[in-house]
Amino acid sequence: MSNGTLLQLKAPSLTHTLHQAESSVLCLAADDEHIFSGTQENHVYVWNRKTLQREAILKGHTGSVLALVLAEEKKWLFSSAADSTVRVWSTETLSPIYLVLPVLDVYSGDIFSLAWNARRCCLYFGCQDTSIQYYNFNNCKPEVNGSSTTPPRQFHKFFDSSPRFVHAARLERDGVTSVKVPETVHEEDWQVVQLPKGNLVPSAHYGYIYCMALVDCGEGRSMLLTGSGDEEVKIWACTPTGLILRTTLNGAGAGVLSLAVREDTVYAGCQSGFIKVWDLETGAVIRTIIAQENEDVLALTLLGSDLYAASANGQIQRWNGSFEQTASWSAHDGSVLSTIVVAPRGGISSDSRETYQLVTGANDATMKLWDIEKPAELKPSSSSTSVRAGPDAKAEDLLSALTDFVSFPSVSNDAHREDCRQTALFLRRILTQLGAESHVIPGKPGRNPVVFASFQGTSNLAAPKPRILFYGHYDVIAAPPYGWDSPPFSLTGRNGYLYGRGVTDDKGPIMAVAMATSKLLAKRSLHADIIMLIEGEEEAGSEGFRDMVQKNKEQIGHVDAILVSNSYWIGEDTPCVTYGLRGVIHATLEIGNEQPDLHSGVEGGAVREPMVDMVQLLSTLSAGPRVLIPGFYENVRPATKGELETYDILSEITGKPAANLRSRWREPSLSIHSLGGSGPANSTVIPHSVRAKVSVRIVPDQDLEETAQRLVDHLRTSFKTLDSTNRLKISVDHKADWWLGKLDDRFFLALEGAIEQEWGVRPLRIREGGSIPSIPFLEKEFGCHALHLPMGQSSDQAHLRNERISLKNLRKGQDVVARFLINLTS
C-alpha cells in the first residue's frame, strides 16, 4: 500500500512526513508552537511547527505514552502512560512540573485517556482498572508553593519509582543530535501530586476507559464523556466535588475506542469498524456509519462539521455534516492510532488560504501532515442569536428568531435529516430561552424528532387554568432556488412581506405563538398552560407522530383545546378563522413487467406497453372534476341551505365564485401528480416500468379507510378489464382524515373574539381544501376540539416559489394569540 493513495474519493495532499525513530505514534497534541507525539518507547517528542524539526524529547515516563492533552491557558501538557502516572510539562520551557500519582490504594494500570477541564482547572483520567480519577489543580497552587490545601509533595526516593532517563545511546541511534534534552530531569524535578483517596469514580465502566471528551455546556457547566470497552459511552456532569453520572448512551454494539463531540452530536469510533452517532439531547442513535468493516476506528477528529476517522488498516475517511463521505484514502502502512487537527499558524504553509492540517500518527513510526480545509458550516443549532424573553422582548426578536428558524433547510426527506435535527435543537433552545421547559423527543427511527415545550401559566383565581395544546410543524417542502427572487432559506423583507421557505407554513406562525406566550408569561399574565408539540414530518404525512403522542401522553397531560395555525386567509384583507379541512389519501401506482426497456422501432406493436396501460387506467379515475370511483360520493354530506348562503356571502366578499369555494372546501377531488417511466424518456424507448402518483381529497362524511379501499378496488377492477400482461402494484402512502371545527365551542368563540378585537372586524369563517393529518387524531386522542387560526394571506404561496407572509399579519397574529389566551380566563 503506498502512502496517500487515492481510493474512490479525493485525498487531501500530504505536505510532510515526520519519522519518529522506529517508535509507534500513540497519541498527539499540538499548540501554536509545537506538535507533541507520545511514543511507545515512553517519551514525548516535541516538534517545532515552523521548522518541522524535532526540538526536544520529554522523558520521565516508564511506560508507553498513551494520551496527551493540553491546558493551553496554563501552558501545560499532560501525558499519561502505561506506567500508571500522569506527568505535567511546561509547554514554554519543556520542563517537568508535576508527577501525578493515582489514588494510592488502587492499582490503576495503564492510563488510556485524559481530559482537561479548564473551567474547573481539573484533570480527569481514565484507567485500565475502570476507574475515572481526577485532580483539581486549583488546590495545587503551583505558583505559591506550600500554601495549597493539598500541597504537592516532593518525590520520595524510597516509595516512588524512579523516572527513567533517556539513554544517550538511544538518542544517538534515533538520530537525535540537535535535540534539546532537558538533562536536568531528576526525581527532584517533579513536584509529586498524590491523588487524595476520594478523587475517583471506581468502576466507572465495566471495561477499560479508552477515550474521553469534555463538553462545555455554557453557563459554567461542563460534561465529561467517557467511552469504554464495555460498549458504552457515559456522560458525567463535572461538579466542584467530582463527577455525577447523568446518562449512558447505549447501542454502540462494540467497544468504544475513540470519541468526538460537536454541538449536540456525539461520535464514537468502535471496535469492528463502526462509528455510532448519538444526539446528545435525546440520547437517540441517529446514525451508524460503517467506516472500514472489521477494522477498529482508533481515532476521530472534527474540523467544523467534517468528521475524520482513522482505522486500524491505515485508512482515513471523511464525512461531511450531512454524513456524506467526502474523502477516503490510505494514509499509513499500519494502524493510525491518533489524529489531530491543527489550525493555520502561518509557519507551515506559505499560501494564505485558511488551510488547516490533519496530523495522523501511526504504528509505522511516522506522523503525516495533510492539508485540509474547513468546510462551509452546516448550520448548527447553536449558531443562532439569542432571543430576549418577556418584557425585554422587542418586535425585532420575533424577526431575528424567525430569520434563524428559516435559515435551516428543514425539508422532511432523507437528504435533510441532519438539518431537521439541528432545527429541532435550535427550536428547543429558543423555546427554553422564551421561558418554556422544552426538550426534543426522538422520532420513529429514520424520522425527524418532535420538539416538546411547556409554558406553565399562573393560576388566575377568577377561572380554572385551561391547558392548550399548540400543534405546529418545523419541516418544510423542498425549495429549489430557481424562480425565487431571494434565496429561499434566507429570510428577506420586501415591501412589507417576509420571504423564505416555511415562513408562512409553518415557521412564522410557530414563532408568533411562542413569542405571544412568552410575553404573557414574563408579565405574569399567562393564566393558561401552553403545551407546544412541533413535529418535523408533517409535509411527509406525519409518520411516527401518532405513536409519539401516545407514548408521551402522560407528559403532555390533560388538554382542553388544540390550537393550530397552519392555513391562510381566503383573500388579502379580511381576517379569517378556519373551521374545516379536507382529508387526503396519497397513492403510488406502478405498472411494469420483467422485460428490459425496449426500442420502440424494434418492438413497438409487439409488446404490451406499461405506459399505455397506465394512461388507460388513470383515465378511469375521473372525467373532468367528477371522480368515477364507484360509491365515491355516497357519503358526502349534503350542503344545507344555510351553508349555501354562506358561500354566496363569502363569494361576494372575496370575489371568488361560490362554486369554486364549494369545490375546494366541501367537495372531494382527485388529482394526478406525476407520471414517469423507466428509461431515458425519449421517443424511441418503451419503458418497462411506469409510476404515477395520485391523491384523493376527502370531505365530511366520507370514511377515510373506506374511501382508500374504494380507490384501490376500483384501480384493480379497472386494470383487470384491460386484460394486460403487465402487473399492477398499488401502495397507499399516507392517509389523513378530514376535520370540521365546532363553531359554538367556547374556545372557538374566544379565538374569534380575539381576532375581532385585534383587527377590528369580524373574521370570516372559512374552510380549506388542504389537510393536516394530525388534527383529527389529536382531537380524538385528547377528547377536545381543535381551533385553527390562519395568520397568512391567500397569496402567501405556501409550498411554491417566493413563499411569504406579511409582516403585519405576523405581528397581528402574535397579538391575536395573546388576546385569545387572555380572553380564556378573563
How many helices and strands, by DSSP H and E, does the chain display? 14, 51
For residues 509 and 817, what is the distance between their CA atoms, to the nearest angstrom? 10
Q: Using the rule CB under 6 A, give the single segment among 151-159, 342-350, 356-364, 765-773 that binds ligand BES.
A: 765-773
Q: Find out whether the peptide bond into 701 is cis, omega within 30 degrees of 0.
A: yes
Q: Using the rule CB under 6 A, give the single segment among 261-269, 670-678, 768-776, 814-822 that binds ligand BES.
A: 768-776
Q: Please, what is the minimum distance in Å from the beta carbon of residue 472 to ligand BES?
A: 10
Pairing label, strands 96-101, 191-194: parallel
- Which helix or strand (DSSP H or E) is residue 69 part of? strand 65-71
Contacts of 207 (CB under 8 A, 6+ apart): 130, 228, 229, 230, 231, 255
Q: Taking CB under 6 A as the criterion, which residues in 158-217 touch ligand BES?
A: none
Grid coordinates in use for 179? 535535540
566, 707, 806, 809: residue in contact with ligand BES (rule CB under 6 A): 566
- Which helix or strand (DSSP H or E) is residue 660 part of? helix 658-665
Q: Taking CB under 6 A as the criterion, which residues in 256-275 touch ligand BES?
A: none
Q: Please, what is the minimum distance in Å from the beta carbon of residue 504 to ligand BES?
A: 8
For ligand BES, give the closer residue by CB, 312 or 798.
798
For ligand BES, give the closer residue by CB, 83 or 539.
539
Grid coordinates in use for 177? 543530535
For ligand BES, give the closer residue by CB, 92 or 705.
705
- Which helix or strand (DSSP H or E) is residue 455 part of? strand 450-455
109, 196, 253, 770: residue in contact with ligand BES (rule CB under 6 A): 770
Q: Taking CB under 6 A as the criterion, which residues in 584-643 touch ligand BES?
A: 584
Contacts of 558 (CB under 8 A, 6+ apart): 467, 782
For residue 234, which phi and psi values (nearest 5 degrees)?
A: -110, 145
Q: Please, what is the minimum distance in Å from the beta carbon of residue 539 to ligand BES?
A: 5
- Which helix or strand (DSSP H or E) is residue 757 part of? helix 746-759
Q: Using the rule CB under 6 A, give the single segment among 9-17, 150-158, 426-434, 764-772 that binds ligand BES.
A: 764-772
Q: Please, what is the minimum distance in Å from the beta carbon of residue 506 to ligand BES?
A: 6
Q: Using the rule CB under 6 A, give the single segment among 20-28, 57-65, 91-99, 767-775 that binds ligand BES.
A: 767-775
Which among 372, 241, 399 has a CA at the least distance from the CA of 304? 372
Q: Please, what is the minimum distance in Å from the beta carbon of residue 576 to ligand BES?
A: 11
772, 778, 787, 810: residue in contact with ligand BES (rule CB under 6 A): 772
Which among 708, 677, 717 has a CA at the least distance from the CA of 587? 708
- Would residue 752 show up in a list of annotated catalytic residues for this protein? no
Could you say whether residue 768 binds ligand BES (CB under 6 A)? yes
For ligand BES, give the closer residue by CB, 263 or 539.
539
For ligand BES, give the closer residue by CB, 83 or 538.
538
C-alpha triplet 735, 740, 741: angle, nearest 5°: 135
Q: Using the rule CB under 6 A, give the single segment among 23-31, 289-297, 678-686, 763-771 that binds ligand BES.
A: 763-771
Q: Please, what is the minimum distance in Å from the beta carbon of residue 549 to ligand BES?
A: 17
Q: Taking CB under 6 A as the criterion, which residues in 794-823 touch ligand BES?
A: 798
- Would residue 475 show up in a list of annotated catalytic residues for this protein? yes
Identify residue 774 by its one-letter amino acid code: S
Q: Taking CB under 6 A as the criterion, which residues in 524-563 touch ligand BES?
A: 538-539, 541
Grid coordinates in use for 398? 420575533
Query: Which residue among 505, 538, 609, 768 is the active-site one?
Result: 538
Q: Please, what is the minimum distance in Å from the beta carbon of residue 377 to ligand BES?
A: 28
With CB atoms as reference, the residue minimizing the distance to ligand BES is 770
Q: Please, what is the minimum distance in Å from the beta carbon of residue 574 to ligand BES?
A: 16
Could you say whether residue 736 binds ligand BES (CB under 6 A)? yes
For residues 37 and 84, what is the distance between their CA atoms, to the nearest angstrom? 18
Asked if 316 contacts 475 with a C-beta cutoff of 8 angstroms, the reply is no
Compute the radius of gyration of the chain from its Cα atoms.
33
For residues 45 and 171, what is the distance between their CA atoms, to the nearest angstrom? 12
Which among 110, 136, 137, 113 has a CA at the least distance from the CA of 125? 113
For ligand BES, give the closer residue by CB, 66 or 469.
469
- Residues facing 497 on adjacent strands: 494, 806
Which among 327, 308, 336 has a CA at the least distance from the CA of 6? 327
Asked if 586 contacts 734 with a C-beta cutoff of 8 angstroms, the reply is yes
For ligand BES, give the closer residue by CB, 38 or 509.
509
Which is it for the CA torsion 288, 294, 300, 303, positive or negative?
negative
505, 609, 758, 796: residue in contact with ligand BES (rule CB under 6 A): 505
Q: Please, what is the minimum distance in Å from the beta carbon of residue 720 to ligand BES?
A: 30
Over the window 568 to 587, marking each residue x when it contacts ligand BES by CB under 6 A and - when it does not, the resulting string is ----------------x---
User: What is the DSSP annotation of 649-693?
Assistant: HHHHHH-S-HHHHHHHHTS-EEEEEEEEESS--STTEE-SEEEEE
Size of the site for ligand BES (CB under 6 A): 15
Q: Taking CB under 6 A as the criterion, which residues in 394-453 touch ligand BES?
A: none
Over the window 689 to 728, marking each residue x when it contacts ligand BES by CB under 6 A and - when it does not, the resulting string is ----------------------------------------
HSE-up of residue 235 (Cα within 13 Å, Cβ side): 23
Q: Please, what is the minimum distance in Å from the beta carbon of residue 563 to ligand BES?
A: 15
For ligand BES, give the closer residue by CB, 77 or 791.
791
Grid coordinates in use for 583? 382529508
For ligand BES, give the closer residue by CB, 42 or 566.
566
- Compute CA distances 739 → 54, 550, 640, 768, 786, whole Å: 74, 20, 18, 10, 9
For ligand BES, give the closer residue by CB, 466 or 541.
541
Give me the count of residues in the chain: 826
Alpha helices in 132-208 (DSSP H): 168-173
Could you say whether residue 773 binds ligand BES (CB under 6 A)? yes
Q: Please, what is the minimum distance in Å from the beta carbon of residue 382 to ligand BES?
A: 27
Is 683 exposed, middle or buried (CB count within 10 Å of its CB: 0-12, 13-18, 19+)? exposed
For residues 630 and 713, what is the distance between their CA atoms, to the nearest angstrom? 9
For ligand BES, give the closer residue by CB, 129 or 539.
539
For ligand BES, give the closer residue by CB, 566 or 809.
566
Query: Which residue among 263, 364, 418, 475 is the active-site one?
Result: 475
For residues 779 and 561, what is the distance between their CA atoms, to the nearest angstrom? 8
Q: Please, what is the minimum distance in Å from the beta carbon of residue 786 to ligand BES?
A: 13
Give the residue numbers marked as catalytic.
Answer: 475, 538
Kindly list the residues in this chain that would bind ligand BES in the complex (CB under 6 A).
505, 538-539, 541, 566-567, 584, 734, 736, 768, 770-773, 798
